[in-house]
Structure 1
Amino acid sequence: MSAPKARPWEEYVPAAELESLAANGFGALQGAGSSPCLLVVDVVMSFLGPRPGSDDPPSVMGCGDMGWERLPTIVGLVDAMRAAGVPVVFTKGDPVDKAFCGGSVKRTSDATLARAVHEAPFPAEIVPRDDEYVLSKPKASAFFGTPLLPYLVRSGIDSLVLVGTTTSGCVRATAVDAMSNNLHVAVVADACFDRSAFAHAANLFDISMKYGDVIAADDVKTWTATPAHAASERNT
């Protein structure tokens, strides 16, 4: 698989540490189950921020250039999954829940800010279709306090491909909860974004070591076609 795009942490983690972790089985490829779903996490205008070159005021929760740089890759994956008949689920924060129950992070505990952030629309490039599930969530994880798991069970889905934002927040929380529910997890490194390049790399590193497979967008098709037993054989 395409290591450079999928392993941004190599800039920060010493090679000896990576070798030691690998020798003890951390970071081994898990592989997919038999029925994947693409989960697009919180790719809304408030997290993207103003379009490059626009005169729109900045968004307090915007992720800057990284979000707009990754959006075409996210759009490409959405289009590819739709063409392949793979379910696509979109998440966004619920402005009412956030206002009354508190935000996903300390910064959004204010009710007025919560409404401003979570009432933001999806960008025109990836507006959900009428037949696609848009899941509203009260906290960071797409599983916490939502019917995502019943949807996955009803749909026979056993594998999640995660894209979106923020890598260190809602993507990570969703990846951990997906693994905790015994789902196969892939996080697409070059289709996720964050306000901090370091936080992006560090959280992808930790997810790769413990919770799921961190892959490049070019490898999503291969990953979804690689069952867990084949991935296990590849690791040996």
Structure 2
Amino acid sequence: MSEDDLLENYRRAYNVKVGFGQRPALILIDFCQGYFDPGCDLYSDVEDALSSALRIRDAARLAKIPVILTNISYHPSGINGGRFFEKAAPLRYFIEGNPMAAFARGLEPEEGELVITKQYPSAFFGTSLASTLTAMGIDSVLLTGLTTSGCVRASCVDAMSHGFRTAVVADACGDRHEAPHQANLFDMNAKYADVVSEEEAMDFLQRLQNKHAAQDG
């Protein structure tokens, strides 16, 4: 099967859009300092993803939707990371107190913004995120973060599995290599989420801001 035929095959099978929800939350996944420090094993060329995520975060704040950040933290022994910590050597940079685990510059949460600390790839696995979103009346999530093929994908699958309409903002996600980045965006868009551009996400958030302004006025 040629590449064109394969793409057409995917379009026939998976060309479905679920759209944005009515009560979304923005989730910023693991924008940790280690990804931006050339001396760290985690270092990746993801500055553009962070810049996009910061613009989306600012728009989300104006639209008055919840902004939730995730980070990773391990006991000094790594025991609470289980097999994930055993398998992925760079996770040692997330042992509590390591500066590489700090939020990237510019991403510091504002007062009242929730931080979810996790030990595994998904923002939902072993955390209170799903129940918290449900209690808040949230019906959908916008996902941004690092890395596309790892924690973003895992969070995307779990978000969908928990019943949330899920949008992954492609421009605000990054990976150490373009191939897994694009492959995972393609696969998430086919099966689990709508993969959208920064422009689409910003247009959606602007509509929400306008709606809230009209209600307040």
Give the shorter-chain TM-score range. Answer: 0.7 to 0.9
For 1:139, give the aligned amino acid.
Y
2-side partners of 1:122 and 1:34: how far apart? 29
What are the residue-to-residue correspondences of 1:37-52 with 2, within 5 Å? 37-50=25-38
For 1:83, give the aligned amino acid.
L
Residue 36 of structure 1: how far off its partner (Å): 0.4
Q: Per the alignment, in what secondary structure is the counterpart of residue 142 of structure 1?
A: coil
Aligned to 1:30: 18
Aligned CA distance change for structure 1 residues 145 and 73 (closer, same or farther; 3 Å):
same
Give ranges in structure 1 of 5+ residues lacking alignment. 1-12, 51-57, 227-236
Aligned to 2:134: 153
Q: Per the alignment, in what secondary structure is the counterpart of residue 79 of structure 2?
A: helix
Question: 1:124 and 2:105 equivalent?
Answer: yes
Aligned CA distance change for structure 1 residues 32 and 46 (closer, same or farther; 3 Å):
same
Total equivalences in the alignment:
203
Comparing 213-222 and 137-146, the one that deviates more: 213-222
2-side partners of 1:98 and 1:225: how far apart? 45
1-side partners of 2:22 and 2:64: how far apart? 14
Equivalent residue in structure 1 for 2:55, among 51, 76, 83: 76
CA RMSD of aligned residues (A): 2.4
Question: 1:93 and 2:79 equivalent?
Answer: no
Give ranges in structure 2 of 5+ residues lacking alignment. 208-217
Aligned to 2:210: none
* TM-score, length basis structure 2: 0.85
Aligned CA distance change for structure 1 residues 225 and 178 (closer, same or farther; 3 Å):
farther
What are the residue-to-residue correspondences of 1:146-185 with 2, within 5 Å? 146-185=127-166
Aligned CA distance change for structure 1 residues 109 and 182 (closer, same or farther; 3 Å):
same
Aligned CA distance change for structure 1 residues 85 and 98 (closer, same or farther; 3 Å):
farther
2-side partners of 1:109 and 1:221: how far apart? 33
Aligned CA distance change for structure 1 residues 81 and 113 (closer, same or farther; 3 Å):
closer
Q: Per the alignment, in what secondary structure is the counterpart of residue 102 of structure 1?
A: helix
Aligned partners of 2:29 and 2:146 also within 8 Å = yes
Aligned CA distance change for structure 1 residues 59 and 144 (closer, same or farther; 3 Å):
same
Residue 150 of structure 1: how far off its partner (Å): 1.3
* TM-score, length basis structure 1: 0.79
2-side partners of 1:224 and 1:210: how far apart? 24
Aligned CA distance change for structure 1 residues 82 and 71 (closer, same or farther; 3 Å):
same
For 1:128, give the aligned amino acid.
P
Higher relative contact order (CA closer than 8 Å, sequence separation 6+): 1
2-side partners of 1:174 and 1:130: how far apart? 24
1-side partners of 2:121 and 2:138: how far apart? 21
Percent identity between matched residues is: 35
Q: Per the alignment, in what secondary structure is the counterpart of residue 96 of structure 1?
A: coil
Comparing 29-38 and 134-143, the one that deviates more: 29-38
Question: 1:14 and 2:3 equivalent?
Answer: yes
1-side partners of 2:77 and 2:51: how far apart? 29
Residue 113 of structure 1: how far off its partner (Å): 4.2
Residue 120 of structure 1: how far off its partner (Å): 2.0
Aligned partners of 1:99 and 1:114 also within 8 Å = no
1:92-148 deviation digits (Å, cap 9, x = unpaired): 0122298112264622387x5441768621123111012100100110000100000
Aligned partners of 1:27 and 1:209 also within 8 Å = yes
Residue 62 of structure 1: how far off its partner (Å): 1.7
